[in-house]
């Protein structure tokens, strides 16, 4: 199979690349997202553990969104509801190149496993659910759920693929901080096709087991394509494409107003009400008079 070339380029806040490996036996997706994760950390005031957890989930959402059908606007939302102190963690990615996310309790910091080793599983919890909502512009989005296996995010997303989409997938995600600064963040996913040989599947599994910590690998290589080339060394590699992503939020005053009216119901309002977007922290303030006007407008 003839390989096609891809020019290297500086990603925006995140870059996802796609490839086939092993003579079309598997699809590979990889993401570099240091700047995106750093932005999320600053925006939400995340602890180290919260940064690692949301960073991993955001990268997983990018890989999953990039794996969806092209040619139409699509969106994937991942929600982790575990029994750990971080609470609910949500990441939301659009095929048009935007991603956002939040952590319910962003300042939580469980005891680290060691220097620079955040205890993500303790923060997320090992009991709970990973929910996946895929919206490809049809009448209703497709929703799937899978129980958490480890709380480490990567294993939980890989398990979702097997359980809900009958796709064998291997996934590694990593976020590395130094002195409170995100210095590396990346992810690597391989999806095996139904006709993949057992020998090739075993080889992919062996390579994932042999991987060093993925964040350290991204820091060492400094480029997502070189990470892929290192992982796939000796395998036939065919580049498919790339997509840049950056933080973006779909919130608006109208969306905030709808949510506020639904929450208030028929409650009498005498003071101004604030609605703050969990994803971007934008605040919308509504006076009692404006709320009355909105209610009247709905009744017309």
For residue 2, tell me if it sits in a domain.
no
Tokens (6 digits) for 65 = 């969104």
The total of structural domains in the chain comes to 2
Q: Is the dihedral of CA 250, 256, 257, 260 positive or negative?
A: positive
Residue 231 sits in the same domain as residue 280: no
The CATH number that applies at residue 26 is 3.55.30.10
pLDDT of 247:
95
The CATH number that applies at residue 276 is 3.90.1280
pLDDT of 297:
77
Q: Are 99 and 53 in contact (CB under 8 A)?
A: no
Instruction: State how far the Cα of 77 lies from the Cα of 65, in Å rounded to an integer.
Output: 9
Residue 234 sits in the same domain as residue 260: no
pLDDT of 72:
65
Q: Which domain holds residue 272?
A: 253-299
Residue 96 sits in the same domain as residue 113: yes
Residue 257 sits in the same domain as residue 241: no
Tokens (6 digits) for 1 = 């199979």
Distance of CA 163 to the CA centre of its chain: 19
For residue 67, tell me if it sits in a domain.
yes
pLDDT of 9:
40
The secondary element (H helix, E strand) that includes residue 7 is none
For residue 4, tell me if it sits in a domain.
no
Tokens (6 digits) for 271 = 């003071």
Residue 99 sits in the same domain as residue 232: yes
pLDDT mean by block of 10 residues, the chain; 300 residues: 40 88 93 97 96 97 84 85 97 92 96 83 96 85 92 95 90 94 96 92 95 92 94 94 92 92 87 92 92 78
Among 139, 131, 27, 38, CA closest to 89: 131
Instruction: State how far the Cα of 203 lies from the Cα of 205, in Å rounded to an integer.
Output: 5
Residue 115 sits in the same domain as residue 224: yes
Helix (H, G, I), strand (E, B) or coil at 80: strand
Residue 234 sits in the same domain as residue 258: no
Residue that the structure tokens 């820091």 belong to:
219
In this prediction the pTM is 0.90
Q: Are 103 and 114 in contact (CB under 8 A)?
A: no
Residue 258 sits in the same domain as residue 285: yes
78 Cβ neighbours under 8 A, 6+ residues apart: 57, 60, 61, 64, 90, 91, 92, 130, 131, 132, 157
């Amino acid at each position: 199979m003839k390989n096609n070339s891809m020019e290297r380029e500086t990603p925006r806040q995140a870059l996802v690349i796609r490839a086939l490996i092993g003579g079309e036996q598997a699809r590979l997706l990889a993401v570099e997202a240091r700047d995106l994760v750093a932005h999320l950390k600053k925006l939400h005031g995340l602890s180290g553990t919260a940064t690692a957890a949301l960073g991993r989930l955001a990268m997983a959402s990018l890989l999953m969104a990039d794996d969806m059908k092209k040619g139409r606007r699509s969106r994937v939302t991942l929600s982790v509801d575990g029994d750990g102190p971080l609470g609910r963690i949500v990441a939301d990615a659009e095929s048009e190149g935007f991603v956002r996310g939040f952590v319910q309790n962003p300042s939580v910091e469980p005891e680290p496993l060691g220097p620079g080793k955040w205890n993500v599983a303790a923060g997320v919890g090992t009991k709970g659910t990973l929910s996946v909502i895929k919206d490809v512009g049809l009448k209703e989005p497709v929703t799937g759920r899978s129980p958490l296996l480890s709380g480490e995010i990567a294993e939980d997303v890989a398990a979702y693929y097997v359980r809900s989409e009958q796709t064998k997938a291997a996934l590694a995600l990593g976020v590395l901080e130094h002195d409170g600064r995100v210095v590396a963040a990346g992810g690597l996913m391989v999806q095996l096709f139904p006709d993949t040989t057992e020998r090739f599947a075993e080889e992919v599994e062996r390579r994932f087991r042999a991987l060093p910590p993925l964040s350290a690998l991204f820091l060492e290589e400094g480029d997502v394509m070189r990470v892929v080339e290192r992982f796939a060394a000796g395998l036939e590699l065919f580049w498919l494409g790339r997509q840049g992503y950056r933080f973006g939020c779909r919130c608006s005053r109208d969306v905030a107003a709808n949510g506020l009216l639904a929450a208030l119901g028929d409650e009498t309002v005498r003071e101004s009400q604030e609605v703050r977007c969990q994803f971007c922290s934008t605040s919308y303030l509504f006076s009692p008079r404006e709320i009355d006007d909105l209610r009247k407008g709905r009744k017309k």
